[in-house]
Amino acid sequence: MADAAHPPVSFETHPSKYKHWKLDISGPVAAVTMKVDEDAPMWPGAYELKLNSYDLSVDIELYDLSQRLRFEHPEVRAVVLTGGYDRIFCAGANIRMLAQASHAFKVNFCKFTNETRCGIEADSRSGNATWIAALNGTASGGGYELAMACEQIYLIDDGNSAVSLPEVPLLGVLPGTGGLTRLTDKRKVRRDMADVFCTKAEGFKARDAVKYHFVDGSFPRSKWAASIEARAQAAVAKNPMPADAAPIVLEPLEPLLTDTHIEYDHVNVRLDHAARIAHVTIESPESEPSATSRTWALRCFRELDDALLRLRVNNLDIGLLVFKCTGDREAVIAHDAALDADTWFNRQVRAYQSRVLQRLDNMAKSIFALVEPGSAFAGSLFEIALAADRSYMLHDDDEINKVVVTSVSNGRFPMHSGITRLEARYPGEPATPAKILALLEAIDAPSCEELGLVTMTPDEIDWDDEIRIAIEERASLSPDALTGMEQNLRFGGPESMDNKIYGRLTAWQNWIFQRPNAVGERGALKMFGAPERAVYDYRRT
């Protein structure tokens, strides 16, 4: 069931369908131009996307664009992100859209935007393409947050353009896509200057922006194009294209969609709206591994990624995801092993799988994994069981029900904290992950229970009743309390910039988005652009 405030959202697109972005590739440099069509919002006629402001449709295109750069254009070593209008880079998230959106939509919009920006940062860190923000005009709010996701930021020095985060003084909310965290943790801006910046609606122009490290440099208009090109070529020189890279075209997924099913080649989602449950079944590979877009390791995880996004935005009534993995676990292990070699293709697929599993970690829905005879919970698919809030494994009389933990759980798929899900599972037992990885064999239910690899192992007599009761109990609890509980428990371990964005900044923004000072009838978000000032309740909470 979609949010009543909007129709269902599709996350599939293609460069031929882009309305807001232009991609020009010249050898190793890609120019990515944000030129938002103000008359083409997510829902026609709902609002105008003025001043290069963005909504979810703009971000869906950016996510698709970044994916295609990774897989379809390995020759690109530097990405120059700029604006398509004169004297404006991006005014940030569209305020009219935010003001009329439901609370759930605002939160999910910010989460998806954050995930896309974290992916851009991962590209620069991993040696893919270096992203460079060429701010050809003012970058405010989410526009400056998008720039901060890039490795380098340059601002035109024209006496007028500035960078700013005006959400607190103008809208009564926070920079919701990582801005506060990136200022201190990534840009290394002093806390006091960050405080000044975030309460100064007009922001800083070139001189002060450079002085206080909000940007890496500035150039006058007369030298702008040449200076940005020089920075791009310098990035290319430091980051040559891998010799074994070859383009991989990402074909459409085209799932079969009904009121009760989302069906792909390898992933099937059955929606039980009455019970508020989605049953997600992932099937093991049926063909040999290959270095193509159709290989299971890439195709299956693309399907899972799309399914998670549709569940998150279009199915707010679904509170519990029940995962099963079926088929040949040895086939899963073989496809994982095919990605072991250090090739360009393998690195891209491994990184993508890791991002999808991190999106699973970040779902505001409960996650159960059910391990039954014939399951394919092994290798990369066992990471789903490790990500689950609870996992149930049938203790069958014949003891054929087993899981396999392989070396992929030893660092291939780090969580946002930087540690593995296996390490996160045993915070007080640092020697246990190595003990499990050393087994190198299928592990039956009694051993899994002894090792703590699963939550419970009901026998064949109790299985149906215990699973039914566990699911019914979970679905009956407060969704707000569950979301808070799950996010706190899932994000244990070391703190990272990503963890702060998702676990701290997003949580505060979630709260602020519900407060009258922001979204009440006289709140700052609702009153933006009106002649009257917002009315605040000045009592601190």
Query: Is residue 142 annotated as part of the catalytic site, yes or no?
Result: yes
Tell me how long the chain is.
Answer: 541
Q: Are 522 and 535 in contact (CB under 8 A)?
A: yes
Query: Is residue 379 annotated as part of the catalytic site, yes or no?
Result: no
Query: Of 145, 303, 383, 423, which is the active-site residue?
Result: 145
Q: Are 307 and 317 in contact (CB under 8 A)?
A: no
Terminal CA-CA length for the chain: 34
Query: Of 93, 235, 387, 524, which is the active-site residue?
Result: 93
Q: How many CB atoms lie within 10 A of CB 354?
A: 18
Query: Is residue 286 annotated as part of the catalytic site, yes or no?
Result: no
Q: Are 76 and 69 in contact (CB under 8 A)?
A: yes
Report the 3 state secondary structure along 245-259: CCCCCCCCCCCEECC
CA distance linking residue 173 with residue 511, whole number of Å = 10
Query: Is residue 121 annotated as part of the catalytic site, yes or no?
Result: no
Which residues are CB-neighbours of 44 under 8 A, at least 6 positions away? none
Query: Of 83, 92, 141, 142, which is the active-site residue?
Result: 142
Which residue has 């074994």 as its token pair? 244
CA distance linking residue 46 with residue 393, whole number of Å = 48
DSSP letters, 333-368, are HHHHHHT-S--HHHHHHHHHHHHHHHHHHT-SSEEE
Q: Take residue 451 and report the two structure tokens written for it.
A: 């090792």
Query: Of 121, 167, 283, 303, which is the active-site residue?
Result: 167
Which residues are CB-neighbours of 388 under 8 A, at least 6 positions away? 323, 367, 368, 369
Q: How many CB atoms lie within 10 A of CB 34?
A: 22
Report the 3 state secondary structure along 291-306: CCCCCHHHHHHHHHHH
Catalytic site positions: 93, 142, 145, 167
